[in-house]
Amino acid sequence: MKACTVAVVGGGLAGLYAARALYASGIDVIVLEARDRLGGRILTADEAGMAAEDGFDLGPSWYWPQMQPPMETLIGELGLHSFAQNSEGAVVFERMSRETPQRYLPAMQEQQSMRLSGGTASVVRALAREIPVDRIHLDATVTAMALSDAGIELTVKRSQGSIGILQAEQVVAALPPRLLEATVSFSPEQDSATAARWRDTATWMAPHAKFFAIYDEPFWRTAGLSGTAQSMVGPLVEIHDATTASGKAALFGFPGVGADQRAALGEEMLKQACLAQLSRLFGSGALAPRAVLLKDWAADPLTATAADRVGGGHPLPGSSQWVSGLWKDRLILAGSETSPFEPGYLAGAVVAAGRAVADILSKMDSR
């Protein structure tokens, strides 16, 4: 049986932020990530859909410095570079299928959406560099947790099928509460109210998908368009310029059809319908992409549960009491959805992880 002081379950932004801070404080920490990559819902990919150091954000891509100072502070600490979401040019609005899409010039926004050079995964890479490689375990799925005299015993399943046990004094569960409740068994069981709260907390963006069309050049800008569009026709309901800081041109949009309808349509049919819509909105040049990508997060079992196939609202800040009873002193939830500030967003992950670290260090001091 292996042992550590703190086990962090989940290698996304929250998990890596917590592990980095704990390691810097001299705590023996191990990160367990079920995927074969770090990042969780953060995924920056190339035009083939493979994780890349300079690509397109199939997960979250924006942050707002004035509204989300914790994220701005972290980006500064890591020495990362940001750039503004393109907003120069007209916005296109598609009201009805039998009407020509309309163009208008929007008022300047006070809160500018910002993106990261190299994609949002640049945060993941920067955090991971400050954690020893042997402290991060990929393809390590936690399937069970059991309280013991010394803390918590975690059952860890590897991709090859092998099973191992990790003993930790404290566990930071840095994943969505709903996913935790659905995929990990507890001994003793969580009390019914706690389990219900986890189950009822929607995982932000889990019901949704993102479609990308990648081009040789951002032809819409030449036509005086920003790349931003809204549609009441679909299949995409919201579209934006996804061109990277290095100049790789792309448009992306959120399909407005639900997860079950996307599955019924099939990936290829949905992609063709999205391209046809981009042609209506931005011109015939949209029909000749270099590549197209579709990331359906509802079909990702390491993000979404069956309950996430029905769209839910944005998680709202609530009570900080995410764990109760016998588990209260050993288990801490740190997924973004548990944050009292901007839950679900990147900034929420930073805040939730910071609170978990402060809690653990306080407990260590008291002991």
Q: What is the pLDDT of residue 110?
A: 65
The tokens describing 248, both together, are 């790789």
Q: Where are the alpha helices (DSSP H) in the chain?
A: 13-24, 69-78, 121-128, 177-183, 192-200, 219-222, 259-265, 267-282, 346-366
CA-CA distance, 213 to 288, in Å (whole number)?
Answer: 9
Closest CA to 2 of 128, 155, 145, 130: 155
Q: What is the pLDDT of residue 251?
A: 98
pLDDT digits (tens, 9 = 90+) for 283-296: 999 999 999 999 99
pLDDT digits (tens, 9 = 90+) for 308-346: 988 766 777 777 899 999 999 999 999 999 999 999 999
Q: What is the mean pLDDT of each run of 10 residues along the chain (367 residues)?
A: 93 98 98 98 97 96 95 98 95 94 82 94 98 97 96 94 95 98 98 96 95 98 96 97 98 96 96 98 96 97 93 73 95 97 96 97 82
Beta carbons within 8 Å of 208's beta carbon, 6+ residues apart: 254, 255, 297, 298, 311
Residue limits of CATH 3.50.50.60 in the chain: 2-41+123-203+314-366
Residue limits of CATH 3.90.660.10 in the chain: 45-119+207-299
Q: What is the pLDDT of residue 4?
A: 97
Beta carbons within 8 Å of 134's beta carbon, 6+ residues apart: none
Q: What is the pLDDT of residue 1?
A: 65
Q: What is the pLDDT of residue 13?
A: 98
Beta carbons within 8 Å of 180's beta carbon, 6+ residues apart: 9, 173, 198, 333, 335
Q: What is the pLDDT of residue 70?
A: 96
Its sign, for the CA torsion 157, 168, 199, 64, is negative
Q: What is the pLDDT of residue 254?
A: 97
Angle (CA) 338 361 335, round 5°: 15
Q: What is the pLDDT of residue 112?
A: 87
- Fold (CATH) for 2-41+123-203+314-366: FAD/NAD(P)-binding domain (3.50.50)
- Fold (CATH) for 45-119+207-299: Polyamine Oxidase; Chain A, domain 2 (3.90.660)
CA-CA distance, 367 to 358, in Å (whole number)?
Answer: 14
CA-CA distance, 162 to 172, in Å (whole number)?
Answer: 23
Its sign, for the CA torsion 125, 126, 128, 132, is positive
Q: What is the pLDDT of residue 107?
A: 73
Q: What is the pLDDT of residue 315?
A: 76
